[in-house]
Amino acid sequence: MNMSKIKNLEKLARRLVKAIGAKERIVLYADSDLDGTVALLILREAILNLGGRIEKLYFSDRRREEPGLNKEALERLKVAAPALLVVLDCGISNFEEARLAKKMGFEVVMIEHHEILDRLPEAAIIVNPKQNKKEETFYHLATCGIVLRLAEELLRGRLTRELREDFLEMASLATVADMVPETGDNKNIIEEGLPLLESSWRPGLQVLLNSSVVEGCLSTRQAVRKVINIVNITDKDGDLSELYWLLTASSLPEAEERFHRFLQKGAARQVEIEKWSDEFKKDLFLKIKNETIIFEGRADLPQPLLGTITSRLCDFFGKPSFIYKKTAKENVGHFRMPEGLSGIEALSRCAQLLRRYGGHAPAGGFYFQEKDTLKLKQCLIKYFQKK
Average pLDDT over residues 90-108: 96
Q: Which sequence spans correspond to the domains of the chain?
A: 9-237, 285-385
CATH assignment, 9-237: 3.90.1640.30
174 to 30, 180, 362: CA distances (angstroms):
14, 10, 18
Identify the pLDDT of residue 286.
87
157 to 19, 22, 26, 131, 161: CA distances (angstroms):
19, 21, 23, 28, 10
pLDDT above 70: residue 381:
yes
Give 258-273 pLDDT, tens digit per residue: 999 999 998 999 999 9
The contacts of residue 323 (CB under 8 Å, 6+ apart) are 280, 294, 296, 297, 301, 306, 309, 310, 313, 333, 334, 335
pLDDT above 90: residue 304:
no
What is the rounded distance in angstroms from the CA atom of residue 310 to the CA atom of residue 327? Answer: 18
pLDDT above 80: residue 64:
no
Q: What's the pLDDT band for 3 if we cut at 50, 70, 90? A: low
CATH assignment, 285-385: 3.10.310.30
Instruction: Tell me how crowded residue 129 is: count the other CB atoms within 10 A of its CB.
Output: 25
Q: How crowded is the C-beta side of 369, counted as CA atoms within 13 Å?
A: 6
Question: Helix (H, G, I), strand (E, B), or coil: what is residue 229?
Answer: helix
Identify the pLDDT of residue 159.
94
Identify the pLDDT of residue 2.
47
pLDDT above 90: residue 157:
no
- pTM (2 decimals)? 0.93
Residues of the chain above pLDDT 70, percent: 99
Contact present, 117 and 150 (Cβ < 8 Å): no
Q: Where are the beta strands (DSSP E) in 137-250?
A: 236-237, 240-241
